Chain A
Amino acid sequence: MKPGTVDPDAQLRLLNLPVPIEVIEDSVGRPAAITIPLAINSGLTRLSRLAQQQRTNAKIGAQKITAINDLWQVNDEWWREHPVSRRYYQITTQSDRRLTIFKDDLNGNWYCQKGE
């Protein structure tokens, strides 16, 4: 291995990384419907989920959000090059699933995240 390079085996593999999703917002910017990758919906592990996403890029249809159970704002690491500013929602979908999603205030994209 060349000096200065990192052994991929020695790297940390972060858990609970955000997964991009599509969200339809209502008039005031709150999530109204959600389209999530099939792999998340089927409860696969992260590795097999990524593999399946690459193979099929499959998604289930939009699901209506029936309730927003909780919401909170996270503003952190503002002193770094890439600060964090997210608005989290804990939602219930029409199929009665509870998910934690957030909108990245910096790029406007929506993500689904576990571990909250």
Chain B
Amino acid sequence: MIDRSIACMLVTHLPVKSEVRRYTQLRGKPVIITESYGSQNLVLDSSAEAKGVTAGMTLAEAMARCKDASLIQADSPYYNNIFDKLLKALELRSPAVEKSGLGCAYVGLEGLEAMYGGEAQVIASLLQVAPAEFNPRIGVAGGKFPAYVAAVTSRGGRATRIPHGSVSTAAFLNGLSIGLLPLSWANKTRLHRFGIHTLDQLSSLPEGTVQAQLGTEGRKAWLLASGIDSSPLVPHRMQQVVEEHLTFPSPTTTWSPILTGLGTLLGRAFARSEISGRYVRTASIESRVYRRPPWVKKFGFKEALGNKDKALFAMKSRLDSVTLPGPLEDMRLTLTGLTGESGIQSNLFSDVRKQEQLKEMMRQLEALLDGKPPIYQLKEIEPWSRIPERRQALVPFDP
């Protein structure tokens, strides 16, 4: 088994911490962040002050338990943006950073100890990546799952290290809940019904028995509970992004100021030095909507675009069929997929296809007119002739 060293950086309750960072008046108050799933409003996250409220609970139930809580509609683009900034900062410290859901990232530590002068210095450097109010916790182990469990069991701003080796890892996992395993809710419920509540209870069962009951997911869970996790660290691929933002003077639902704003943002973005002489493949616009969840619209261009006018034309034509969810308060434009080349892939057999289409069209016309259709093709006969009627003629069209 490869001797690896992986750190898991965990920022718990990232949505709530992000909102408190944005609206400081929420600090120390009960906050519930809700997200709509169809007709249902569910709790995405809640602050420690919102007693009895947990993620996944319906809003009605949450309000019954905590009447004084401030309700906030989830702003997922904002949370993702904040977490991406954290990932970027982590990538400045290690070349191997894997994003694993909102608030959780794995960092490969191989080779960093010598650079920082020891493992403790590396961990201290990782803890400094996030602002103090995010209070990150870190777990270090030989695999991703034990590192995650170590991070979960750490206190905020602290780190826990599990000695390498499956035996010591299994010993660390003893007594911890099976709720930590990446299992479906149905399988976790089944394990609880079997009386298996902790990781050591699961690992004490024969591997085949667990697999027989829960399938491949069960076998993976058994290995993790036994302290064996050989899943590779897949570095997060960070792409270059160009962002521009504006706030509307007042929330607007009419397209005229929105398109004007979009044109302004595109003008600013294409004037940036990062994009100079390059082309853009994708774009997205995000807007906060008055008393509604944020609105996000993504655009993938058929060919990479190199200037504002072409991008505006392409985006405008797609927005024609869009219905706005409500008054937009601001607009953030993000250009991604920057490339140095632009081109269109043409069809090698386009002539053949065109010929087939023409033949089909003639067949249909023949059937419709019950005879040969009066369709002719212009042919050059004697284009050099001084006599005009000798130069060109119409011949019956036969593809």
Contacts and interface: CB of A to CB of B under 8 A. Distances in A.
Interface string B369-388: 00010001011010001111
A68 to B, nearest CB: 19
A22 B182 CA distance: 96
B399 interface: no
Contact of B381 (A9, A12, A18, A115): A12
B394 A113 contact: no
Given A9-B396, A12-B394, A15-B394, A115 B389 contact: yes
A74 B389 contact: no
B389 A13 contact: no
Contacts of A84: 387
B92 interface: no
B392 A15 contact: yes
A76 B387 contact: yes
A33 to B, nearest CB: 24
A6 to B, nearest CB: 12
B391 interface: yes
B396 A16 contact: no
A84 B386 CA distance: 10
Interface centre among A15, A77, A115 (most CB of B within 10 A): A15
Contact of A16 (B376, B386, B392): B392
Contact of A13 (B372, B385, B388, B393): B393
A81 interface: no
A113 B388 CA distance: 8
A84 B389 CA distance: 12
B386 A13 contact: no
A115 B391 contact: yes
B320 to A, nearest CB: 38
A15 B388 CA distance: 8
Interface centre among A14, A84, A116 (most CB of B within 10 A): A14
Given A76-B386, A116-B388, A14 B393 contact: yes
B387 A15 contact: no
B212 interface: no
B393 A15 contact: yes
A60 interface: no
A89 B58 CA distance: 91
B380 to A, nearest CB: 10
Interface centre among B379, B381, B386, B391 (most CB of A within 10 A): B386
A13 B387 contact: no
B386 A74 contact: yes
Contacts of B376: 13
A12 B385 CA distance: 17
Interface in B127-164: none
Interface string A55-89: 00000000000000000001011000000100000
A15 B378 CA distance: 9
Contacts of A113: 388-389
16 contacts: A9-B396, A12-B394, A13-B376, A14-B381, A14-B390, A14-B392, A15-B389, A15-B391, A15-B394, A16-B388, A17-B389, A18-B389, A74-B386, A76-B385, A76-B387, A114-B388
Given A16-B391, A74-B387, A116-B388, 11 more contacts: A9-B372, A9-B396, A12-B393, A13-B376, A13-B395, A14-B389, A15-B391, A15-B393, A16-B392, A74-B386, A76-B385
Interface of B: 372, 376, 378-379, 381, 385-396
